[in-house]
């Protein structure tokens, strides 16, 4: 079923119905347009289809970005990403 044409169409429709603001969003890679049932407000440009959770998600992903970047660097250096715990523990 996951590879069916119906499922592919659903995914394409979800992507294609995103407002321009969402398609150009810097956290789009993590959200992928989110659930269509949450898309019922209007963008500042007047397009319909923005998620009412947009601002919260942007704040969240911007907040965790430094930690994710650190963890990714640790993985690239063949070190455990759990090293973030040591860093976070020393900053409190």
**What pLDDT, on a 0 to 100 scale, did the predictor assign at position 68?**
94
Q: pTM for the full model?
A: 0.74
Give average pLDDT by consecutive 10-residue segment, the chain, 92 residues. Answer: 83 84 91 86 93 94 95 97 88 58
Cβ–Cβ < 8 Å for 49, 19: yes
Per-domain residue ranges of the chain: 5-90
**What pLDDT, on a 0 to 100 scale, did the predictor assign at position 57?**
93
**What pLDDT, on a 0 to 100 scale, did the predictor assign at position 35?**
85
Cβ–Cβ < 8 Å for 74, 81: yes
| 43 to 14, 38, 40: CA distances (angstroms) | 17, 13, 10
């Amino acid at each position: 079923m996951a590879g069916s044409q119906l499922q592919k169409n659903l995914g394409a429709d979800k992507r294609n119905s995103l407002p321009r603001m969402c398609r150009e969003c810097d956290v789009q890679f993590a959200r992928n347009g989110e659930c269509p049932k949450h898309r019922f407000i209007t963008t500042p440009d007047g397009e319909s289809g923005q998620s009412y959770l947009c601002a919260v998600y942007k704040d969240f992903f911007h907040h965790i970005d430094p930690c994710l970047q650190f963890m990714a660097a640790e993985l690239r250096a063949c070190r455990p990403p759990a090293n973030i715990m040591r860093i976070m523990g020393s900053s409190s």
